Structure 1
Amino acid sequence: MPHTLARFALAATLSSLLGLAACGGGGVSSPTTVSASDEASKPAPAPTPPSTPTPPPTQPGKWQAASTGDMLDVALGDLHPTQAALGYDQIYYKLGRYELKPNKKFDDFCADEGLGGVAATGYSATSTLTDSTSFTCTTTDVTKRDTTVLNPVVIGPNGDSLYLTDGHHGLSTYYEVPDGGPKLHVHVVVKANLSAYSGDTFWAEMQNRGYTRLKDGNGAAIKPAQLPTGLGLKLGMQNDKFRSLVYFTRDVGYSKPTPSTDFLEFYWADWLRASFPLSSYTLTNLGTTDPDPATADTGYLNAVWNASQQMVASADPVIDGKTGTDLGRLAQINAGKKYTKGTFGDLLQPITASSPGKIAYALDYKTRHSIQ
């Protein structure tokens, strides 16, 4: 066959084969057609579960790394109380004295900061506690600060909080003065770091170590959640009249030992609460002491004298595991001095005296500020 005819024959054959493939013939399979019903009968693919984000690790709190004995510079608003009550009259005494003798406020603050007292000419009428440059303490080199007098704190869960275990009255007074408040800075010392504890475990450890007093102003038990939110007289602190009474019996019926038990005055308050008839006394009056402070009248001074007598006359009582000796019970009332001398002699001075007594300052402050 000529070459030209052969090429035509090959082309025709290829063309026929391609045509059969396109039409589905000649043994070549055509694409499978899928109906809508077949598609619907297929199982739906399982949904992909959303990924759960991994929570970020808990960041250590501000004070988590602090160790026992470390000194911290904090604001009063950073401190959480470990007791639910105060002796209000102790606060009123300090506030009354600070109003009438402003130098005493700066003197006390310098002393509480471990810097001695206020310098002789270390303050003026424009000085304020919140401006440390406006007054001068006798110890001007802060590296020589006496840290043994600083108030103790416990570091709470995760290092986020500080719990004050002593000094509630003094710091609450600074919280209440016009130039104090929550932003006033003070120095404290770490008593223990319990940042590894949390929740009920934290409070159980606080109780085991004697770092908290879970009682209200009447001595009734409370839970940790019932503790006040802060210091001062307006954030939940209740008034314990027996605690005020015990403050005024210091160095008349007992003397605070060194070192001292935390909440020492509350031990005495609870003991007196069980038997001393405080409601029989008129605590709005200073009272008189002649001829016998035990029977002269029923004023505040009379209550202090008789409570002190009960304290020293007891046969070394055991109060919540502490003996009277542990709590500083004196062997003789007023350290053996006549009632017109010594600590009680100072206490009985009226507000008109050149050096009024503590109770006189408290009652005068309450009168001037219309406090019942």
Structure 2
Amino acid sequence: MSESVERGASVRGWAEVDLGALRSNVRALRGRIGGAALMAVVKADGYGHGALPCARAAVEAGATWLGTATPEEALALRAGGLPDDLRIMCWLWTPGGPWQEAIEADLDVSVSAMWALTEVTAAARRAGRPARVQLKADTGLGRNGCQPGPDWRELVGAALRAEAEGLVRITGLWSHFARADEPGHPSIRAQLDLFREMTAYAEGEGVRPEVRHIANSPATLTLPEAHYDLVRPGIALYGISPSPEVGTPADFGLRPAMTLAASLALVKRVPGGHGVSYGHHYTTPGETTLGLVPLGYGDGIPRHASSAAPVLVDGKWRTVAGRIAMDQFVVDLGGDRPAAGAEAVLFGPGDRGEPTAEDWAQAAGTIAYEIVTRIGARVPRVYVNE
């Protein structure tokens, strides 16, 4: 347990975030990308790790861009005391968004459709300064982004006219992979080819982007030809492999930054045949000891991991016994009797023998991205190696 928790913060549960590991991860990623710049993606509160502390650590380690999903996330970063010349990009906009505030905060904003270009140019007129705009191409993910063909031609043409009027500066052309975590999948080549075509068209029409980018974490790690001018690692920053089938964090030179732990709230003896938690989906096979872990789905612990996820208690792996409830769950300690207050480690880097976020992902039928990102605000973040 960190000293800051011992000095009086809640010891019900805590998420320790190792900023030294995050800086090391950024350096490892930079070592793979040659002359490309690195955008540290800190959306969703830094994938649950804390956006601003992680952003600071990433910048210290050499990131020159930050990326967020929402403009509100980006505006909070700009107000957070980071270097004034740091580039910050946000990409998930809806009509009526804070375009003018983004322009005045010197954010790079993504535009995927004509409605967005119309709104951002109107905001630029109000602000009296040009907007920094990056045009997003849908090269095959099928989410945000402008469709190739007539839609792309219309958007590029309108953006160039707005640039000629001094309302925007087209700073980037970008896209996003659908299956880069599956090296060799034919969709990767198809998306790269289409991205090349769409950027070539825009440049042929007169767009002069500062950066072209398509590489997410898996492409940063496994696909050098996708690095272009900028890469956008997200989950890899936090030391989690985006493709466990291809490599572990250690295989990529990464170290998980988050350890999630709690103090046992109760330890008690119970007889055999004792039902445990809602629905009695677990019944003790004989006389045993139960330990109560005071975290639940209200803290982001996935209910789908009931009766399946591992927890390290007193140096031994235990399994969640029965249903995970809103605020707590139970582990069967097999007759061992640790004291109330003993540490239960749900996941961490794994070097103390504890489970990892990937172990919890397997137990819950999901991905490790979700495990760390969903840890809620009731769980204090404790930063080490600041």
Tell me which interval the TM-score lies in, with the shorter structure as reference length: under 0.3
Larger CA Rg, structure 1 vs 2:
1
Higher helix share: 1
Q: TM-score, normalised by structure 1?
A: 0.22
Normalized per residue, the structure richer in strand is 2
